[in-house]
Structure 1
């Protein structure tokens, strides 16, 4: 407990990021327990109502409660963010570890592949995948995961290059331990702090990318709500109902900011432990 209080006091970036993420995660949990109004039920009598005691964040152009939809859309943000980060790690980390560990032509091939993926603008690559597989939540997760492969692969590769020449790794090779065991039992555990930092930043990128795709109508499709889609719908009533854009825009900003601060704070904490 003392260490926790010390970290919270000294690492303000980590503390603020954790508070923001926990706050929005709590809203996501709340969406399973309580929704003030049916989030997907239109009401012609309640169109574009301003914030009030009945509708805390007002209503949209179809009369749907914005607060209820913000809560429900938080599920989409956390689901897409979590699933795409996990998928990106599963695809990118083994590739990067193998490239850094084996070196030679295989590492050169991995680097060329990663360079080719980075050379294509992320939005264009996502549009290419969506044009092939269609729209929807699963395709959005796949597209974001593929976009994140270079990020995770390069992190794993750089770590593998630094670690593979350590004495205990060389010793495991000399006694004939299989390369797969060396990669996943001896090298991978040393990536824990780097994985946490990269995954936090990757989560922020995933949320922002999902919001952008949904804003363009290419991401999560109705009836599943998305903060990006809500922001797109709000632009038609930006001046007569500004609360619509404010609510969804603030939700995106807070979650992305929270995970970015969390990642930066974890990096600072990791660097401090290395120095000690």
Structure 2
């Protein structure tokens, strides 16, 4: 018995196999443990659900006018009060979520598609292609973004669609330069060099190897850019260059309520709060994604 016990004690311990954890799963765990990021995600989901179910949530039509009820203070009948046309502000703020989120998502999607395409071409092929595309980015970045957006809308004409186009254009260089720098790093990796050595086509290398390994910073930047796009859309609407009446766009609602700031401050407070909370949600979520996806941010 003693000999058997000694043999067991002298037997080397077998190494315990650790299960490999997916980088995306690890990022999700990090994101989930970030309370502010979760809070931001809940705020964003709240406004998305608000936009989806706006017809069911809004108690009145967005353009139903009743001059007998104009500029009423918030009450149980009208939670956010009424505007100078007697329209229910709560209903208009709820429907305004559709417009602001729609502009934010579509504008950023357009910026990502065009910016990433140009950035990938510049970073992968280099030489004169990189020079031309980089100078194009420099020209766009030479102008203050909001002034460039105003100039584009002034040329195209004031409308929500043209404001969306302008916002997409001014955000192209942000994504283009980001993906270009990432591609410059990725294309030097051994698996890219091996793919070239075996004769793989450039298009296949770009879309099957370079793009998937460059997408993480784009997700973070895209989330933060949606918040910026919502602010820019509100700014253009406030200047009368975005959504046209009677659309319940939050920036347009702010400019329409300027004359009643002292008499009926709720006409400006609630659209302003909607903008603030939506932008705050996207910023918190974007910061959480950056911390989860960027290895340099991890302890």
Please confirm whether the aligned pair reaches a TM-score higher than 0.5, indicating the same fold: yes
With the shorter chain as reference, the TM-score category is over 0.9
Change (3 A) 1:275 1:122: closer
Shift of 1:137: 2.0
Pair 1:22 & 2:45 matched: yes
Instruction: Give the Cα separation in 2 of the matches to 1:263 and 1:141.
Output: 21
Pair 1:124 & 2:147 matched: yes
Q: How many residues align?
A: 275
* TM-score, length-scaled by structure 2: 0.87
Instruction: Give the Cα separation in 2 of the matches to 1:182 and 1:117.
Output: 29
Instruction: Give the Cα separation in 1 of the matches to 2:177 and 2:152.
Output: 22
Shift of 1:274: 8.3
Instruction: Give the Cα separation in 1 of the matches to 2:193 and 2:208.
Output: 14
Local SS of the residue matching 2:211: helix
Instruction: Give the Cα separation in 1 of the matches to 2:168 and 2:244.
Output: 18
Aligned pair partner of 1:77 in 100, 110, 115 = 100
Question: Cα deviations across residues 78-117 of structure 1 (Å, max 9, x unaligned)?
Answer: 1101110111111100100111111222212221111110
Shift of 1:273: 8.7
Q: Name the counterpart of 1:146.
A: 169
Does the aligned pair in 2 maintain the 1:81–1:206 contact within 8 Å? yes
Alignment of 1:27-176 (within 5 A): 27-176=50-199
Shift of 1:169: 0.5
Instruction: Give the Cα separation in 1 of the matches to 2:210 and 2:231.
Output: 31
Shift of 1:224: 2.1
Q: Name the counterpart of 1:194.
A: 217
Change (3 A) 1:161 1:40: same
Pair 1:235 & 2:255 matched: no
Shift of 1:45: 0.5
Q: Name the counterpart of 2:16.
A: none
Does the aligned pair in 2 maintain the 1:48–1:60 contact within 8 Å? yes
Shift of 1:259: 0.6
* TM-score, length-scaled by structure 1: 0.94
Local SS of the residue matching 1:225: coil
Instruction: Give the Cα separation in 2 of the matches to 1:200 and 1:4.
Output: 16
Instruction: Give the Cα separation in 1 of the matches to 2:144 and 2:28.
Output: 42
Which protein is bigger by CA-based radius of gyration?
2
Instruction: Give the Cα separation in 1 of the matches to 2:224 and 2:232.
Output: 12
Instruction: Give the Cα separation in 1 of the matches to 2:277 and 2:142.
Output: 30
Local SS of the residue matching 1:85: helix
Does the aligned pair in 1 maintain the 2:291–2:298 contact within 8 Å? no
Does the aligned pair in 2 maintain the 1:43–1:62 contact within 8 Å? yes
- Provide structure 1 residue ranges, at least 5 long, that are not aligned to the other structure: none
Shift of 1:147: 0.7
Does the aligned pair in 2 maintain the 1:98–1:183 contact within 8 Å? no
Change (3 A) 1:24 1:193: same
Shift of 1:47: 0.3
> If each structure's helix is expressed as a fraction of its own residues, which one has the higher value?
1
Q: Name the counterpart of 2:229.
A: 206
Shift of 1:7: 4.1
